[in-house]
Structures are given as C-alpha cells and as structure tokens.
Structure 1
C-alpha cells in the first residue's frame, strides 16, 4: 500500500498568490463571525463568475458600487503604478 499522494500545485503568478492571501483573510474573518454577507466575483481565462451569500444585500450593493468605481479607475489608469499597486478588498 502506498502512502498519501502529494498534490503539487501549479506555479502561481504574484497576482494569484495575492488572491489566495485575500481569500484566506476573508475566510479567517468569516470563521471569527465578523462577516455576515459575502459577494464574490472571479475572472477565469474564459469568462467570469459571481456568487452571493448572506442577507445584507443593500450593504453588499453599496460595496459593489465602490468596487466597480475602483475597477474603472484601474482600467483607466495607464501609469506604471498600476502594475505594482496591490489593494485589498477588505475594509475595516
């Protein structure tokens, strides 16, 4: 009988590592009971997905408006700062 197989993850980009760290931070806050509603948007090579859980839809809608504004700023920002800036979606 052989031992457990180790799954070797694909090499991740710096952005993907940042995403994993952000999701870990969000999970930790959820496990502490500090998060009551979550909206998730993710992009893949061939499209995107979204999901929502919780009952604070109005608050989530406001947060999505802020996120959409920040996304638009990123799209319109053509400086080199854009390539190095990392911002968290989690706000206190």
Structure 2
C-alpha cells in the first residue's frame, strides 16, 4: 500500500514492491527480488490480503523467510493499525 512508503521513510526502512501496478513480477524481476532480499538479509515479506500471495511465498521460500499479512484496509481502523504495529514489532526486532 502506498501509505507504507511514508511509514518506511519515517522510520529508515525501505519498501520494495513485489507487484507493480497490480502485476506480479516475471521470472527476471522475481530473481532480482530474491537476490536483493538475500543481499540485504531480508527474512520477512509483508503482503496485503487484497493481493496475490504466490510471488511473496516464492520469495520467502527462496530466502528462508516468512510471509506476514498486514491489512491497511481493515474496517476497524484502530484495530488494524495495532495489528500492523504488532506484526512489525515482532518481525523487525
């Protein structure tokens, strides 16, 4: 979600999109994402439930990591933000 870009910038993180304009990566882009994740010791792939999970799962498997779902569009916004904060705390510490 675009809002995560602002969050990432505010906290010194980097957001690397898997899908661009709603399109899943092709084999070349997938290989580049896996290489980037390995070089940067990334072990978590965050996804939104509204998007396909196949590419995220492929990347996570290739890097020995995990897929974590976060939903910025939950109907109960405060609960959603708390869930996202909890997921980030658990995986980034």
TM-score range, shorter chain: 0.3 to 0.5
Q: Where is the helix percentage greater, Structure 1 or Structure 2?
A: 2
Q: Where is the strand percentage greater, Structure 1 or Structure 2?
A: 1
The structure having more radius of gyration, on CA atoms, is 1
TM-score, normalised via structure 1 length? 0.33
